[in-house]
Structure 1
Amino acid sequence: MSNVLILGAAGKIARLAEQRLLAETDAQLTLYLRRPERLGNVAGNREKVIDGDTTKPEQLVAAMHGQDIVYANLAGANIEEQATKVVAAMQQTGVKRLIWISTLGIYDEVPGEFGKWNHQMLDGGYLQTYSAAAKVIEASDLDYTIVRPAWLSNKDEIDYETTQKGEPFKGTEVARKSVAAFVTKLVQDPSQEIRHSVGLNKPNTDGDKPEWY
């Protein structure tokens, strides 16, 4: 049995991952977020809820004691600051395994017309801040996996392929359920994808932009 701390537990991918982790593992989950009333009912025997802020080191450190895996599903213009605080808290508490959700394009790895479109949509702060956060994590001594999903859909499917840092990104989209399934796979076997930055996309979705644009 592992203890998993979910940072940003109200996020859409985080809620899907939470459901899968409850169904497919025996992990004990700690749900860390601001305004926990957003969660509704939780599984009292396997879940603990913490009203916390990822920019508050003392709150993060308290939440990380006894954890085996930190799964961070965070967002915001201050994502680099959040990454810095998470890394520091993990180092202070001796927790090594981090699963960090980022985005495609942080290494300028998206080729062709889709890459140009992705820049047009995400430049102006988003790609730059998420890239800076990834650098913080990669410079640490943590056993991290950075996950870089394609553009996210709500399709009811699990269908994905991966690429590694240094390889061209494939496809244009991926379902949130697929990302949650990949996170669950890493929790089930934390030895996978150590110190890797993994692109995640649905196969055969190449194009100039996602189908819904």
Structure 2
Amino acid sequence: MIQQNLVWHPPAITKVDRQKLNKHKSCALWFTGFSGSGKSTLANQLDCELYSLGVKSYVLDGDNVRKGLNNDLGFSPEDRVENIRRVGELAKLFVDSGQIVITAFISPYRKDRNQVRSNFEQEEFMEIFIECPLDVCVSRDPKGLYQKARNNEIRDFTGIDSPYEPPVNPDLTINTEEYTVKDAVQTIVTHLRNKGIIDI
């Protein structure tokens, strides 16, 4: 009923206007993968590289967003769906503002990632699979979360007692067991150039 009373207000400054001002196109780079795969590390190093090139970018990190916008959500399947829905809407606002937004979320369900993709124009959403074997992620365990999950201190933890559905056809796959962070960043920057998002 509430939706019936809402009227979309078109912006005076369009996404294309903002892209022209920024001198590059905008898009969402959606990092998905297990906890410990390297999503946040890679997202922030990519952000630094884009900043050095004069590209407007911003990182939405899973833990950071859950400390604020999504602090009312847990890790049940239903809450995970809502978490990704909200982040998808937030990412779209960043793309509309003419920026490259880098999201670092486990986002374990294909259906949710595909739903987010459907909200973007074709070239404005890139699903990037941060691939790393689960046993390697467990051995890294940078936040001690896998150990807590195995001790039953955390429930519904992806890879332990909650599933992860890897992308079937990601736009890009980065295997962090094989790539250095520097090489991974350069691979993504090259991909952005090849797609015509940036020309720097």
TM-score (ref. length: structure 1) = 0.46
Instruction: Give the number of the structure with larger relative contact order, counting CA–CA contacts within 8 Å between residues 6 or more apart.
Output: 2
Which of the pair is proportionally richer in strand? 1
- Flag the structure with larger Rg: 2
Structure with more of its chain in helix, by fraction: 2
